[in-house]
Amino acid sequence: MNYFIRNCTIVNEGETYVADVLVENGLIKHIFRDEGFDKFVSAVTVEALGRYLIPGVIDEHVHFREPGLTHKGDIFTESRAAVAGGVTSFMEMPNTVPQTTTQELLRQKFELAAEKSIANYSFYMGATNDNLDEVLKTDPASVCGIKVFMGSSTGNMLVNDDGVLARIFKESPCLVAAHCEDEDVIRQNTELYKELVAQGKVTPDAALHPLIRTAEACYRSSAKAVEIADKTGGRLHVMHVSTQRELDLFRNDMPLAEKKITAETCPHYLLFDEQRYHDLGFRIKCNPAVKSAEDAAALICALREKRLDTIGSDHAPHAREEKFGNDYFKTPSGMPSVQHTLRAMLELRRRGLLSLEEIVQLMCHNPATIYGIQGRGFIREGYHADLVMLDLDMEDPVNDGCVLSKCGWTPYHGLSLPGSVTHTFVNGNLVYEEGVIHEGSNGKRLDFSR
């Protein structure tokens, strides 16, 4: 079906202007800025009524839990939560069961997504200490990147062999996305606090998290990753930066397309700080840990200064019975957030900390540029019609009952976030409209040019 989106305020590539958009055969056919066309017989008219139209959000960092962990979430449910939040494309992590550490397992994931995902998709190939041959077979034109856990992960995905790390960074056919936390620091802190809990000196609650997964653990690992990337010439993207100390590792003195080392942060590191463990508890237990208010403020400044380049959700659902009712050492890290990432960033706009143009740059344009995604991330004629319409005058409270993720809870429960996603188009198909998912069309595999 073709669509004529009428009287929308487009936010794209640093500009904000009123126009009409014609969508034909899944592509942006024409953007009418001055011509005044208002009727297309072959297109369904969508009256924007002055609402904002932005490119579909590209979430480079999700854990959708399929295969093997589908009691937490799966590609079907989590991709629908994504489009309800304005996310039209996602890139999913390899720490599933089994872990995505062979080309055959990677192929199977793509087949699952083709059957189930309403959003566009790609998947990371997972690195280990002993699968370098499989990693080097990765097709850079059809796979988003290589994921390296330089800190705790599930199974055997911790890569702590310096020789293997150097070869991955030097020889990887595509971008290396790294989770950076130093395992030795975390292990020592864990042993210390387990002993203090056993002695009754501290309580095993969520507030332990930033004391165990410290800023030092983050900095030590991120610095190592950057050093290896510098030495090898590797293309590195550091995921979920959470501390002020790490920021000096990243440059802001060159165009994004020329950077070989880039970095991501997440909304929960910007909106929450360690004081929120007292009321939100394990809802905000994630890795790396949410840290201090000073860290949060510094991260926001780094986004404005272009030292940090992208926003990812790090969507990582867990079932309620896993997440609540246990002590610290038994509670898994991770939170569902893909449905509310965009609205969380709009809260920063309401506070005057980021503009809508900057949010679109961070969540739409920059991921497309960094990963080399073909034909997406911008509102341009000839590009795929991945589009999101926003009503910025709306403000709705967030609660667990509105969550489309299979886990049925959110770290933003009880907060009132600004803005509302009213329409989401994926490849020109209207898949979400005023709270309703429209079934019948699936997303497409992302293509990349390196």
**Residue 143: which CATH number?**
3.20.20.140
Predicted confidence at residue 75, as pLDDT, reads 98
Neighbours of 68 (CB within 10 A): 12
- pTM exceeds 0.95 for this model: yes
Query: Quick one: average pLDDT of 355-360?
Result: 98
pLDDT of 50 = 84
Determine, yes or no, domain membership for 210. yes
Which residue, among 216, 156, 211, 153, has the nearest Cα to 179 in the 3D structure?
153
pLDDT at residue number 154: 63
What would you report as the CA-atom Rg of the chain, rounded to the nearest whole angstrom? 21
With cut-offs at 50, 70 and 90, classify the pLDDT of residue 37: low
Q: What confidence score (pLDDT) does residue 183 get?
A: 93
Confidence (pLDDT) at 261? 98
Asked if residue 33 is part of any domain, the answer here is no
Q: Cα 203 from chain centroid?
A: 32
Band the pLDDT of 36: cuts 50, 70, 90.
low
As a whole number, the mean pLDDT across the chain is 96
Q: What is the pLDDT of residues 80-116, one digit of tens each?
A: 999 999 999 999 999 999 999 999 999 999 999 999 9
- Look at residue 326 and tell me if it is in a domain: yes
Q: Is the pLDDT of residue 394 over 80?
A: yes
Q: What does the pLDDT read at residue 34?
A: 77
Structure tokens at 210: 């930033």
Task: Name the residue with tokens 């920059």.
Answer: 366
Q: What is residue 285's DSSP assignment?
A: -
Q: Over 90: is that where the pLDDT of 151 sits?
A: no
The whole-number average pLDDT for the span 25-33 is 95
Alpha-carbon distance of 129 to 333, in angstroms, equals 23
d(CA 57, CA 377) in angstroms, rounded, equals: 7
Q: What is the DSSP letter of 364?
A: I
What pLDDT, on the 0 to 100 scale, is given for residue 231?
97
- The answer to whether residue 134 sits within a structural domain is yes
DSSP string, 173-229: SSPEEEEE--HHHHHHHHHHHHHHHHTTSS--SGGGHHHHS-HHHHHHHHHHHHHHH
Residue 114 resides in a domain: yes
Is the torsion defined by CA of 174, 178, 184, 187 positive or negative?
negative
User: Which residues constitute the domain of residue 158?
Assistant: 56-371
pLDDT band at 153 (very low <50, low <70, confident <90, very high): low
Give the number of other CB atoms < 10 A from CB of residue 374: 14
Write phi, then psi, for 347 (nearest 5 degrees): -65, -35
**pLDDT (mean) for 315-335:** 96
What is the model's pLDDT at position 108?
98
Query: CB under 8 Å, gap of 24 or more: what pairs does 163-169 form?
Result: 164/127, 164/129, 164/130, 164/132, 165/228, 166/228, 166/231, 166/232, 167/132, 168/127, 168/132, 168/135, 168/234, 169/228, 169/229, 169/232, 169/234, 169/236
Q: Which residue is it, tokens 């077979």?
A: 137
Pairing of strands 236-238, 120-123: unpaired
Give residue-wise pLDDT tens across range 168-208.
Answer: 999 999 999 999 999 999 999 999 999 999 999 999 999 99
Residue 171 confidence (pLDDT) = 97
The upper half-sphere exposure of residue 25, i.e. CA atoms within 13 Å in the direction of its Cβ, equals 3
Whether residue 99 lies inside any domain: the answer is: yes
Q: How many domains does the chain have?
A: 1
Is 322 part of any domain? yes
**What is the mean predicted confidence (pLDDT) over 370-398?**
97
Give every CB contact of residue 270 below 8 A, 6+ residues apart in sequence: 296, 299, 300, 303, 344, 348
Above pLDDT 70, what percent of the chain?
98
Rounded CA separation 211/119 (Å): 37
Per-residue pLDDT band at 325 (split at 50, 70, 90)? confident
Q: Are 269 and 240 in contact (CB under 8 A)?
A: yes
pLDDT in tens, 227-259: 999 999 999 999 999 999 999 999 999 999 999
